[in-house]
Amino acid sequence: MIKCFVALCLYLAMVNCVKAAPADSSASISSKHNFEFVYNNKTNRVEVKESLNDVYTSNTFNVTLPVVEGYNDEVTIDEVKCMVDYRIPPKFKPEYSYYSIGDVFYSDERICYFPVYLPKTGSKANVTFNETILDPRYFTSVYFSESLPVTTREITFTVPRWMKVELREMNFAGYNIQKAVTYNSKADADIYTYTAQNIPANKSEENSPGPTYLYPHIMVLCKSATTGGQSFTYFATIDDLYGWYKTLVKEIKNNDAVIATRAKELTVGLTNDMDKIKAVFYFVQDNIRYIAFENGMAGFKPESADEVLRKKYGDCKGMANLTKSLLTSLGYDAHLCWLGTNHIAYDYTTPSMAVDNHMICALNYKGKTIFLDATETYIGINEYAERIQGRQVLIENNDKYILARIPMAAAAQNFDAETSKLEVAGTALTGSVTHIWKGEDKEEVLSGLNSIKKERSDEVLVKYLSNGNNDNEIKDLNITSIYNTDTDLSANYKVNFKNAVSVFSKAYYIDLDFRKEFINSAIKIDERKHDYWFDYKTNITKATELTIPAGYKVAAIPAPLNITNADYEFHINYESKPGVLIYKKSILIKNTHMAAAKFNQWNKDIELLAKTYNENVTLKPVTE
């Protein structure tokens, strides 16, 4: 369920609140998790009673485990029990606190946490949380794996015949998970029991797919119930899901007068429609601080646009609502959109809140839909971040909805281009450089620059341009468009690359590439478990023109490198012309998802790339 994912995030956030989490081998878990649908005749609603019992067994001495459980307005923790080696630990006292992000206490998300100390090998901590989910809509998935190895996990669902629910098995292949179904005639309920053995610990790896792609879990699709003389409809279809979303949206109370006034101020003096649209979109990007918090369990109810405007911060929902409200106040056809980023494996073929983790705005303009994601601070109109490209999107359309997809972008949307003119000066290379960034490359540079104090931006940019090498001096730096999302980011500067030239017996040995992108990108196959996902498509081009010193000639150049396949390309070539040597490099990452089966070929190609990088140009006197 969503709570499980939130709890995982909370667990990671809590490592500074209690003793550090142990290595995966320090303890293991065996557990019994029971979920039962019940009808509460006092509140006239269906609830889910949870009993989560985990037994932690230490594999060494002096193990301290941080136990963290999330709850909120839709989930209550009714009882917490803990026994260590059959005794209640001294001073056992669960702490209950709001979950905060920085200095913002806006979410209704709360946590219950406490440390568990296991003094010796074989010590056992028996921890039980008894909880209630107050609305089945929020009961979305149950995972088998944990941050520690799971020796056994039994998951039981008690589903009365009056409750219609689908249990969808996800990522079971390759795991030892057995299923049994029995019928309890007394309760008139079906009992679904899943038993898992020897589930490895979740492995955190950089650039991995999200957990919905990786780990065995059960999607719980609560559709409807007929009990207590009433009928309840949850999410039997996407229409039900959208209807519920619209109910939340209708509860928003925007102050239309405040929004209209601000929209007019932002567009004063502008007559072109696209200029007005950009003024609104870039205002939200530049002036509303993005805080990724939840307002409610799943975080689907946007905050009012005027309140986001007043506070100058909001999450994706609030920023999307502000963008839409400003545009509609100017007469444009703007709509809210729900979607799941590429972190989530599901799409809208599945009616569940687990499908979504993001909200943006869609603008219908001259027969075209333009998607506006104000959380991407430095990306322009009609540019889309990798995380949402190709994703299915649910667009509000009065009492109906529109299903669409965010356009896919080629690697050409992103651009990291460097053009250099250099000459030999003793053992150094000196000259001038022009650098241009577009798309997500530009966003990455600008995000870094604007996250620091303005007076240090040049210092940080110089360090970035010099690749952190003190031998690479950057002078006369001129950077343009640092505050203009609508244009490319460019930088011009003088360079002095010290020790770039080695001299032996009058011969010059020159390294023309001090960046050498991807040179250390071989994947440690023996260590990595998951597929590798690049942050975004890469489009790097470098062109260097080296003036040949008078009296010298090009004696040797590295062989060209040309690797082309469906996923990526590496090209390096040298061209000798009268008086100059031209070095050209192109690196394209066209498919950001690299399956583990392709790691071997990738490593071979990276080895060839590194070999080419490490070969020098040789210049010798023309008399030799």
Quote the distance between the C-alpha of residue 473 and its chain's center: 35
Query: What's the pLDDT score for residue 198?
Result: 97
Q: In this predicted structure, what is the pLDDT of residue 11? A: 32
Nearest to 593, CA basis, from 534, 529, 538, 537? 534
Q: What is the pTM of this model?
A: 0.91
Phi-psi category of 499—alpha, beta or left, where left has phi over 0 and alpha has psi -120 to 50?
A: left
Strand, helix or coil for residue 4: helix
565 by DSSP, 3-state: which?
A: coil
Question: Is beta strand 580-589 parallel, antiparallel or unpaired with respect to 538-547?
Answer: antiparallel
Task: Compute the CA torsion angle 297, 299, 300, 302 (nearest 10 deg).
Answer: 130
Pairing of strands 501-504, 489-497: unpaired
Length of the chain: 624
What is the per-residue pLDDT for 301?
81
Q: Which of 61, 56, 58, 50 is nearest to 150 (CA)?
A: 56
Nearest to 612 by CA among 489, 537, 517, 541: 517
* 438 and 488 Cβ atoms separated by less than 8 Å: yes
How far is Cα 490 from Cα 418, in angstroms, rounded to an integer? Answer: 10
Give pLDDT, residue 24: 53
The phi, psi pair for 41, rounded to 5°, reads -75, -10
The pLDDT value recorded for residue 582 is 98
Of 320, 315, 343, the C-alpha closest to 108 is 315
Q: What is the 3-state secondary structure (H, E, C) of 88-113?
A: CCCCCCCEEEECCECCECCCCCEEEE
- Residue 1: half-sphere exposure toward Cβ, Cα within 13 Å: 22
Q: Would you state the pLDDT for residue 17?
A: 33
Residue 441 has phi, psi (to 5 degrees) of -65, -45
Domains of the chain: 2-233 (2.60.40.3140), 247-408 (3.10.620.30), 412-621 (2.60.120.1130)
Going by C-alpha positions, the residue among 542, 441, 419, 448 that lies closest to residue 488 is 441
Q: Is 434 exposed, middle or buried (0-12, 13-18, 19+ CB in 10 A)?
A: middle
Partners of residue 371 on adjacent β-strands: 362
**Which pLDDT does position 581 carry in this prediction?**
98
Separation CA 433–CA 105 (nearest Å): 46
What one-letter code names the amino acid at 54? D
> How far is 116 from 125, CA to CA, in rounded Å?
7
Q: Is the separation of the CB atoms in 81 and 127 below 8 Å?
A: yes
Q: Cβ distance 583 to 542 under 8 Å? A: yes
Angle at 192 between CA 191 and CA 194, to 5 degrees: 140
Q: At what angle do helices 256-266 and 273-287 cross, to 10 degrees?
A: 110
Q: Low-confidence residues of the chain, pLDDT below 70?
A: 1-24, 100-108, 293-299, 453-455
Instruction: Count CA atoms closer than 13 A to 623's CA, side-chain side.
Output: 4
Q: Which two tokens stand for residue 499?
A: 């020790």
- Neighbour count for residue 428 (Cβ, 10 Å): 18
The answer to whether 107 touches 295, Cβ cutoff 8 Å, is yes
Supply the pLDDT for residue 14: 33
Beta bridge partner(s), residue 48: 37, 133
- Only one residue has tokens 């430095």, namely 378
510-544 exposure pattern, b = at least 16 Cβ within 10 A, e = fewer:
bbbbebebbeeebbeeeebebbbbbebbbbbbbeb
